[in-house]
């Protein structure tokens, strides 16, 4: 696909946030809705910074000479789980058609036809975002002020796009019905959110949509006394785990979680949309 267009201006750096599914992975493939968090660290598309790791994304074969001057910097260094594939597409789309979700969506559908597209909307919009991939719309939500969400790297990597290719015939209606009561809200209620996260995790296990390697990790996170909900996120729940706790308990919980996991972000590092 030829993605070259006349660049509208000279841009030094484009910043795209990382993303994490809070609720809706898999259900988004049928119902079209999901709840995602954009957060630090940022992916960077830059003509002034050298790339930090090799990248083989097919979009790189379709760039013109001016686009090829830009390097993609992955803060996760290829470890996966936080939206690198959608970030690179969103970044190069921004070069030629700035601030156009429609253009970025079309480009993402070309390169990632098996994906839901939820990542691209979240990373475009930033914040805690309810997305509807059926019409490419979104709205921002707020977590209860007394809660925090800690994002952890598990160290397991699942090739998401390969995995999604094998799921086309599965029915995810039960997952969709579970999140429907909260997905359209703007202000989330504490107990409702906690219960939904826990039930969603349990249902994914029942549907064998969990990597066996990550289940004991999630259980360990849940066993931390101050953690009130825990869930694997993304393909098979493998790459990323979230832990919900009271904000007053963040330091204590983070200290315990850091014994086994790399902490990527909490709600103090919510990411802005593409910039």
- Buried/exposed code over 140-149 (b: 16+ C-beta within 10 A; e: otherwise): ebebbeebbb
- Residue 184: the pLDDT is 86
List phi, psi (to 5°) of 206.
-60, -35
Residue 108 host element (H or E)? helix 101-111
Q: Which residue has the higher pLDDT, 46 or 31?
A: 46
Specify if 270 maps to a domain.
Answer: no
Specify if 272 maps to a domain.
Answer: no
- Residue 51: the pLDDT is 79
Specify if 6 maps to a domain.
Answer: no
Examine the pLDDT at 52 and tell me if it is beyond 90: no
- How far from 171 is each of 112, 155, 160, 208, CA to CA, in Å? 21, 29, 18, 13
Looking at the structure, do residues 153 and 99 belong to the same domain, yes or no?
no
CA 211 to chain centre: 18
Residue 91 host element (H or E)? helix 84-96
Boundary of a domain, candidates 118, 140, 162: 140
Specify if 8 maps to a domain.
Answer: no
**Nearest residue to 117 via CA among 139, 137, 99:** 137
Under 8 Å between Cβ of 22 and 149: yes
Examine the pLDDT at 249 and tell me if it is beyond 80: yes
Looking at the structure, do residues 157 and 256 belong to the same domain, yes or no?
yes
Specify if 273 maps to a domain.
Answer: no
Under 8 Å between Cβ of 2 and 62: yes
- Residue 56: the pLDDT is 81
pLDDT digit string, tens, across residues 189-242? 999 999 999 999 999 999 999 999 999 999 999 999 999 999 999 889 999 999
- Residue 160: the pLDDT is 61
pLDDT digit string, tens, across residues 131-187? 999 999 999 998 899 999 999 999 988 766 555 666 667 889 999 999 999 998 888
Which residues span the domain enclosing 190? 147-265
Under 8 Å between Cβ of 171 and 30: yes
Looking at the structure, do residues 106 and 183 belong to the same domain, yes or no?
no
Looking at the structure, do residues 199 and 228 belong to the same domain, yes or no?
yes
Boundary of a domain, candidates 115, 140, 165: 140
Q: Which residue has the higher pLDDT, 7 or 270?
A: 270
Boundary of a domain, candidates 77, 105, 140: 140
Looking at the structure, do residues 113 and 152 belong to the same domain, yes or no?
no
């Amino acid at each position: 696909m030829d993605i070259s267009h006349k660049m509208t201006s000279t841009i030094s750096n484009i910043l795209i946030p990382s993303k994490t599914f809070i609720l809706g992975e898999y259900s988004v493939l049928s119902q079209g809705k999901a709840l995602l968090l954009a957060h630090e660290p940022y992916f960077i598309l830059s003509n002034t910074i050298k790339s930090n790791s090799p990248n083989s994304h097919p979009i790189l074969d379709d760039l013109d000479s001016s686009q090829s001057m830009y390097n993609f910097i992955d803060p996760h260094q290829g470890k996966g789980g936080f939206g690198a594939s959608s970030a690179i597409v969103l970044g190069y789309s921004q070069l030629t058609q700035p601030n156009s979700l429609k253009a970025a969506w079309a480009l993402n559908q070309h390169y990632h036809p098996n994906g839901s597209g939820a990542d691209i909307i979240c990373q475009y919009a930033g914040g805690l975002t309810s997305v509807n991939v059926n019409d490419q719309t979104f709205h921002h939500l707020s977590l209860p002020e007394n809660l925090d969400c800690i994002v952890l790297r598990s160290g397991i990597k699942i090739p998401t796009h390969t995995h999604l290719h094998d799921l086309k015939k599965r029915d995810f209606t039960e997952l969709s019905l579970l999140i429907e009561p909260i997905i359209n809200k703007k202000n989330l209620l504490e107990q409702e959110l906690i219960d939904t996260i826990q039930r969603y995790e349990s249902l994914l296990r029942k549907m064998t949509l969990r990597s066996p390697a990550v289940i004991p990790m999630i259980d360990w996170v849940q066993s931390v006394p101050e953690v009130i909900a825990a869930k694997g996120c993304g393909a098979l729940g493998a790459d990323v785990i979230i832990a919900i706790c009271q904000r007053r308990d963040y330091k204590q919980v983070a200290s315990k979680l850091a014994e086994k996991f790399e902490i990527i972000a909490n709600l103090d590092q919510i990411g802005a949309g593409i910039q």
